[in-house]
Structures are given as structure tokens and as C-alpha cells.
Structure 1
């Protein structure tokens, strides 16, 4: 063999063994010794093919192929556990070439890749979420079992190359397609535009909510995961409703607490006001009772000193003082008792035929007897003969108003009383030219125990006008005042001529 031919054999990476037509070894390189050396056997020239691992079988297989056909290749395991690829090829002269190549490392790599691929397939199949991969033309590359189960896809539609439009059409027929297809593709466009993953909750026609995350690939396709988040969305909605309900409950409870706090503050303020009114009443009542009692005591002492020498005029004067003071005490007590009966609801209006004109004249005559310094000018002929009212309580109303007119007009002598009919009502006005009332005091004039600033130094309880207003309103009437400081006052009482049964019954129901 030429020297150059041996050099070629030595530089080949495979182990080469040359056989003649009698299947006897004629040449081999050192790489063949490395691969086939002990414990796999020794190689030497002149040995037969039977001493070469796998050679006989490969030679038989190759001889069965047509002459000059492609060489036959097989794999065999050596005694030391290595894997070898053996290729057997014939020449025109009938000789044979055996090529041995150690493929143990390659086998291990392939086995490792196969194992990894198996594990990848197993992981893909066991993913809880659906996974699918589409190319740039929206044709399926692969999908896992969860994706197929999620949409009940037949095996035919899970094969590579299936168009997405076919999958969606099938799902639409099955009733689990996207409720809004346009929205379904929005996330694809968003992911493509951003070049980054994009997620969106898609509502299906069967009511499920699927979270789809698209991740674009460099080749124009995308990988998508499909996660059923129906329960999560429902839970989130329930939590939101619970939160809203809780907030509403907190707001309601807060409002109730605030209302109770305001009510407590109101009651405390009312309690303070009542305490203050009681204090004022005690002071007022003490003063008001003390004055007529002092007059009575003084008159009695004068009478006692003049015992036996009492002149009729003097006696009449003192008796009038005593009677006036007694009447003042009686009136005061009656006002207090009437106000108390109104507060407790024990005062009822007893409707009867009330001769209002005659009543007003009687009240004026009584005041003339008590207050001889004043005269009463009456213009009441326009009143009807009778109205439906409670004579006893109305007598108290006009007695109080006439008494006030006299009391708060000490420097004048005339009290004017006028009355007329207006629509279905009668109106009675009582006017004086007395001290009058400040404009800012007028709105509070009918409050219990309130006394105007212009009444300073004039006896009074602040009960009378409040009592008057309540009695008039029980008759479904009204009272108003027109006054100014130093210009006198006019009180106008409006009363219905006939009893208003509807208003009366409505008021009772209330």
C-alpha cells in the first residue's frame, strides 16, 4: 500500500478496516484499534471478518443489496458498553471497507433530548391552563390537552396547521366561543403592537370568563395561555358587592350614630332650655305672685289701722285693690293651669254656638271694671250672631289680649276693638297705642315665657300669648301681630265661622 494511502487512513476520524474479497483483513488504522481494542478483541492483518465485532452481520446485510448500492449501516453495542455505528461498503474489485464510529456521546445526547422532549410533552399536557401556539398566518403549531378540554375540541382541530378561524367557528357552533370576537382579537393586536405580553378577560357565550395572555414571537406568531378565571371573577364581584354592602352598612350605622348624637344633643339642649325656662318661670312666678299679694297685704294693713273710722270711699278703694289683686292671681293661676293642660293634651275644644259679639262686649266690660283708666271703643257689629267655637276658651283668648292691651299701654286711655267677616272667617283686631314691640322680637312673641324688651318693668309671665296662639290654632284659626316700638300694637285673630270637620278630623288623626 502506498505511503500516502496509509496517511489518509490514519487521518480519518473513523476506525477503518479493509477486507479483501476473501473477507480477510488487509489493512486498518489506529482509530480502529482505539475503538475495537480489548476487551472487544485484537485486530491484525490476516484475521477473518468473524473476529471483528458486528462485521459478519453487516457484511451479510450489505451483500444482499445491489452492487454499488448505498452502504449498509447498523448500530451495535460493544462489550465495554459503548455504542458504535458500523458502515459496510463494497468495491468493484469485491473488497470491503468497514467504518467504525463511536456514537456513545451522540446517543446520550439524543437520549437526553428525547427525555427532555418527553418531559416537555408531559409538562405541557399537565398544565392546568390551556396553551396554544400559532404562526404568523394564525395556523396552529401546537396546543396542550388543557386547551382542547377547555373548549371540547376534537382531535382533528388540535393538529398542527389547523387555522384559528376553523377553531373559533367550531367553538361558536358548540356555544363556547367569545361573546365578542372583536374584543377577542384586540389583545392580539395589543401584544403585537407592544412587542410584549398582553392579557385580557374574555367572556364566552356559555358565561365563562377566560383570561387570555398573548406573547408575540419574533417570527410573527404568538403563544397564548388560556386560564378559566370565572370563579375568581365571581368571587371578586361577590367581594365587591360585600364591600359595597359593608360600606353602605357602615354609612348607615354612621348616619344613625350621627342622628342619635344629634338627637342627644337636641335633647340635652332641650333639657338645658327647659331648666332655663323653669328657672325663669320660678323667678317670674315668684315676682308675679309677690306683687298682688303685697297689694292685698298692704290694703289689709290699712284697713286694720283704720278700724272703726273707715270711710266708705276708702273701703271701696281698698276692696277694689284686693279684688283686682285676687283676680290677677286667679288669672295667673288659670294661665299656668291652661298651659299645663295644653302641654299634656288634656284640653279639648268643646264646640258650641258661640255668641262672639256678646262675649267680646262682656270681656271689655270686665276689663273696664278692673282697669278704670282705659276705655274700650268697639266696632263689632259686623260679626255674625253665632260661630262654631268653644266659648270658654275663646273668652280666655280675648280676656288675655284685652288685658295685655291695657297693661302695655299705660300712658294711653283708648283700646280699639274691631271685627268683620272675611270669606268664611271672622277677624277680630285689638289695637292699642302703647309701648309697641321691637321688630326683631315679633317672631318670638308667641314663644312660652318670652317677653319683649319693651315689656321691661311691666308685670307679666310670658305664658299668655303662647296660650292664646295654641287655643286659636286648636280652632283651626290663626293670630298675627303688627307692631313697632313706640307705635302700639294690633293683634288680629282669625277664626272659621263654621267648624271644619275635615280639618278637625285630620288634626285628630295627626
Structure 2
């Protein structure tokens, strides 16, 4: 829980290896009227991490570079340890990439050192605290919903115990109630997962839209065109993220309604996979590499769009759940009328206790809670593979990576066949 004060005191920790920045920040805070800020300072990364873990401050101001360490890593670790107080990144220059990375790891806001003044610092702290308060309310509502579901489940279970004492006719009714209970549990579980997912995944793009929309209003002079365009670009990017989330919902809806059909066409699997891996190069993190190799024949008959979507989803997941500098291996093998697709990463892996839920709708492993995603991607992939009468399996070890293996039956084509 975020720490709250009975008085108007706001306790702030500044993590910065430059004492001059501490003095400047302290002096700026002292000039803000009507509020009392208590500023503490820590210049050592390891000590700062230990202090933050105790969650004794209302707000954290984290420098982008702390000695040899990155402030982004410190913010990410704090998020992973359940710190709910706002973490504001301080950076030496205004950079869109830094801005986006800060939001991705969970920063509430970011300020450019040397350019922000009294109003900017006060506004950032105030907005971040209000945003943290809203998120806490969402989590509280979600907890209340889960308790109601549990109570409803207990009530229905008691009703079932009473029915067991009746005659055969009531036993038949019991079976029907069991079916209803199971459907209700699934529905409530999906609702709960949706609330959790929405509160997490919609937060970053909505925060981006809100902050950029507020800043655009300030840039109304002729010379501010570049700033306006930059923030318009941020809003467009955030809208695209929201659109991708909604597209996942649309895809799963179409699959469940039977509106997706398998339409096999002849194509070259090696060429298709090469195209996809080339497209995915735009998404790789710094130092990440994608290696692809193919064995066997290349001309096959399958649904090309479904195959493409499976490849895109598995490779993008490998990129997303791997750190910078890690390699990703993509392998295709077409022999004996069976296509085998294998995607291997060296990322965070899947905890063994959670692997049984991997293809469940909205499921997110605990170690992936701070990585953007809807929990629908692998569900959609499995449904596509089922449509093509194939199978999917995986091997994973936490912190060592994951290998996904897809097998799909497909007839081979001769080199002289015509599409």
C-alpha cells in the first residue's frame, strides 16, 4: 500500500549520485507554497534499492544514471517488489525513447534536469500521487470483486450439499447446478482477470495520452511546432497500443463465434518465415538477434495467414520476454508431411507452478506482470493451431528461457506445382 500522511507532509527520496542535484531539488521544493516536503537523499544504488523496498516514502525521484547503474533498472525492480508509490525518472535530456522506456518499466512521469521549475516539479509530484491513488482504488475494487465471487461460490457449494440429501430427481438437478456453477466460476474468473489486466495494460497508454494532451495545450506558440508534433506522436503510439489490445479481444471473439476458417494455399514456408523474422527486427531490444534456419522441403499447403500470425506471436513473445543482448532462435523443419516450427528464447521463462495455465485466457505469469500484454496471445495461437489440426508444446525453465514447438500436418508441393 502507498504510504499516506495524516498531515500535509510528503516524504520524498531522491536517488542521485550528484550532490548538487540534491541541493537544487531541496531548494526548489522549499519554495513550493502550502505543502511541506521532506526530502531525503541517497547516492548509492544498492542502498537506494534497500530503502525503497521498505516503502517508507510517498514519492521517489530516480536519476537516469546512478554511477554505473541505470535508474530504469531500479524503477523496474521496485515495481517487481510491489512498490506502489510513484517513481519519477530524472534525466539529463529530453528524449522520446527514454520517455517511452520510462513508462514501460512503470515510471509515473519523467522530468528533464535543468529545465523543470517549481511548477513542473510540484505538478509532477501531485499528478503522480493522484494516479497512484486511482490505481489503489482499482486494486481495491478488484479485491472486493474476488471476495464476492468467493462468497458466491461458498453459498452455491452449501446449496449443493443440501441437494445431496434429496431423492434422485434432486440429484439430477444437482448436476445441472454444477454446470451452472462452473460457468459462473469461469465468467467471474474472466471478469476478475480482465479487471486486473485492464488496470495494468491500459495504464501506460492512458497516462501517455493524458500527459501529452496536457502538454500540447502549453505549446501554442508558432515556434512550438516540433513539441506539438512530438506529443501528437506519443498519443498516436498510445492509441496504437490500445488498438492492439482491443484487436486481441476481437480475434478471440471471432474464434469463439466460429468466424475464423482455415483456407490452405500453396506457399514457401522458408520465404514466409524469413519475411516475418525480418519484420520482427523492428521490435528487437538493444543487442537482441534473431537467427533462423530451415530444414527439408519448403513448398507446402497451409493457411498462410494463420501460419504468419502464429510465427509473429511466438517471435514477438520471445522478444518481449527476453532481456537486451539475448539471442532468439527460429527453426522450421518440413518432412514427412509435417511442418515443425520451433521458437527458442533465453528470457525470463515460465514458473513451473504456472505452466499448466499458459494457454488460459487472460493468464499472465507472476514474473511477467510488469511486461505489457493481454494474456490472450498464446490462447489465440493455440486456437489457430487447433483449426489446422496441429499441436503445440513447450519446455521452459524460469530465468533460463522457453522453447515453443508447433507441429502441423501439411501436404508437400512439388517445385513445379502452380498456385
Please give the TM-score of this superposition, normalised by the length of structure 2: 0.51
Deviation of 1:468 after TM superposition, in Å, equals: 0.6
- CA drift of 1:301 comes to 5.7
- Structure 1 residues 445 and 255 mapped into 2: Cα distance closer, same or farther (>3 Å)? farther
- How much has 1:277 moved relative to structure 2? 0.8
Contact 1:412 1:434 in 2 (8 A): no
Name the structure 2 match of 1:427.
Answer: 340
- Per the alignment, residue 27 of structure 1 pairs with none
Distance 1:409 1:304, change over 3 A: farther
Task: Name the residue aligned to 1:353.
Answer: 266
| Aligned counterpart in structure 2 of residue 275 of structure 1, from 188, 200, 212 | 188
Displacement of 1:326 after TM fit?
Answer: 4.1
Q: Offset at 1:455?
A: 1.4
Shift of 1:278: 1.7
CA distance in 1, matches of 2:409, 2:192: 38
Give the greater-gyration-radius structure (CA): 1
Tell me if 1:385 matches 2:298: yes
Partner of 1:470: helix, strand, or coil? Answer: helix
Q: Which runs of 5+ in 2 are unaligned?
A: 1-165, 413-419
Q: Distance in 1 between matches of 2:247 and 2:266?
A: 24
Distance 1:321 1:430, change over 3 A: farther
**Equivalent residue, structure 2, for 1:471:** 384
Instruction: Answer whether contact 2:283 2:319 (CA < 8 A) is retained.
Output: no
Residue of 313, 316, 321 corresponding to 1:403? 316
Q: Give the structure 2 partner of residue 344 of structure 1.
A: 257
Residue 462 of structure 1: aligned partner:
375
1:54-105 deviations in whole A, cap 9, x for unaligned? xxxxxxxxxxxxxxxxxxxxxxxxxxxxxxxxxxxxxxxxxxxxxxxxxxxx
- The 3 A distance-change label for structure 1 pair 262 and 425 is same
Higher relative CO (Cα under 8 Å, sequence separation at least 6) belongs to 2
Higher mean alpha-carbon deviation, 283-292 vs 273-282, is at 283-292
Instruction: Work out the CA distance in 2 between the residues paired with 1:445 and 1:394.
Output: 20
Per the TM alignment, residue 300 of structure 1 is displaced from its structure 2 partner at its CA by 5.9
Structure 1 unpaired stretches of 5+: 1-252, 500-510
Q: 2:358 aligns with which of 445, 449, 453?
A: 445
Q: Counterparts of 1:432 and 1:315 in 2: how far apart (Å)?
A: 39
**Is contact 1:374–1:406 with CA below 8 Å preserved after alignment?**
no
User: Partners of 1:442 and 1:347 in 2: how far apart?
Assistant: 27
Aligned-residue offset at 1:393: 2.3
Residue 159 (structure 2) pairs with residue 262 (structure 1): no
Task: Give the Cα separation in 1 of the matches to 2:372 and 2:230.
Answer: 21
TM-score w.r.t. structure 1 length? 0.43
Q: Equivalents in 1 of 2:286, 2:292: separation in Å?
A: 20
**Alignment pair present for 1:333 and 2:246:** yes
**Across the two proteins, how many residue pairs are aligned to each other?**
246
Aligned to 2:44: none
| Contact kept? 2:285, 2:325, Cα under 8 Å | no
Secondary structure of the structure 2 residue equivalent to 1:450: coil
* TM-superposed deviation, 1:489: 0.8
Aligned counterparts of 2:359 and 2:288: Cα–Cα separation in 1: 26
| Alpha-carbon separation, structure 1, partners of 2:233 and 2:284 | 11
